[in-house]
Every structure is written in C-alpha cells, then in structure tokens.
Amino acid sequence: MEVSKIFDRYKLKIADDTIYDFVRERYVHLTPEEIVRQKTLKFLMNRLGIPKDRIIVERSLGTLGVKGSKKRIDIGVYDEEGLLMAVVECKAPAVFNPEAAFTQAQNYLRELNTRYFFVTDGCSFEGFYYDTIKDIKLKEIPKYDRWYYYPIE
C-alpha cells in the first residue's frame, strides 16, 4: 500500500536533534527511522483505528517473553485481552531493504506468536497475516476492529 502522501500530512514535533514520541510521551533522538516510526504510529491510530493504549514502541523481545533475546521490535499492537497481535518493522527510506525487513518482521512474528506483521519505509506499508502454515500478503490493510476476522471472511 502506498502511504507516502498520507505520511506527508502528519505533523511531528521536532526540537533540535529530538522528536516527540506521543506514545512514549517523551522526546527521543531524531533519526530518519524515528521519523518513519512516528508517522507510522499516527497512521496506525488515525487510519487503522488502533487505540493508543494498545500500542508499544521499541520493546526488547526479552520483555515480551523471549528469554535471552536482546532484539527489539519497533512497534507492537496488543488486542483487548492483552495479547500481542502484531509487529510493525519501520525502516528509513534510504536504507530500506524490503526482503531484509520482511525477514526480520517474520522472525519476530514467529518468536512472539503474533498474527500480523507489517513493514514500512514511510513510502509503502505492507501487511502480512500468518495462518500457522504460511504468510499471506494482505491485499489491503484492514482496520484494527477487523483484525480478528481478516483475512478469513
């Protein structure tokens, strides 16, 4: 899904070499990847309808139950029962390697046992559903309230 025009409309709070993360409610170091992450957070909430309290940012897999792992997910989305439902991998456009980002997100999905994983560079936003046998590339990104039913309908 092409998202660059949508992402371009999102305003960010930037001060010196920091950017405000409204989910973590603090300023963080400004990087191209962080800009993509912050715009992705706005997209998830504004376009997909994900409540802010269901989103986590920059969490190590160790804190999510994967013992000994120092890897970190960019964004995670919980369902209403508190189970991790999706992982979003954000990359800066200049360094975006779709296959590497896809593999990284796919590995996180398997380690964390989530249903969905998404990959974005701020220009495109690709979604995948894992049905316990294979990954299914989503033709469209469903709103959050449809994630329990999609793409099975």
Q: What is the pLDDT of residues 62-84, one digit of tens each?
A: 777 777 667 788 999 999 888 88
Does the pLDDT value for residue 58 go beyond 50?
A: yes
Does the pLDDT value for residue 54 go beyond 80?
A: yes
The pLDDT of residue 96 is 61
Is residue 55 within 8 A of residue 41, CB to CB? The reply is: yes
Does the pLDDT value for residue 117 go beyond 80?
A: yes
pTM of the full predicted structure? 0.88
Which residues have C-beta within 8 Å of that of residue 16, sequence separation ≥ 6?
A: 30
Which residues have C-beta within 8 Å of that of residue 134, sequence separation ≥ 6?
A: none
β-bridge partners, 1: none
User: What are the tokens at 9?
Assistant: 């409309």
Is residue 54 within 8 A of residue 86, CB to CB? The reply is: no
What does the alpha-carbon distance between residue 46 and residue 57 come to, in Å, rounded to a whole number?
17
Is residue 108 within 8 A of residue 58, CB to CB? The reply is: no
Mean per-residue pLDDT, 12-38: 95
Taking the alpha carbons at both ends of the chain, their separation in whole angstroms is 21
Per-residue pLDDT reduced to its tens digit, 89-107: 898 887 666 677 677 767 7
Does the pLDDT value for residue 153 go beyond 50?
A: no
Specify the higher pLDDT residue, 14 or 67: 14
Mean per-residue pLDDT, 125-149: 84
Cis amide prior to 32 (ω within 30 degrees):
no
Q: Report percent pLDDT > 70 for the chain.
A: 89
User: What are the tokens at 147?
Assistant: 């994630």
Mean per-residue pLDDT, 56-62: 85
The model's confidence at residue 47, banded by pLDDT at 50, 70 and 90, is very high
Does the pLDDT value for residue 45 go beyond 50?
A: yes
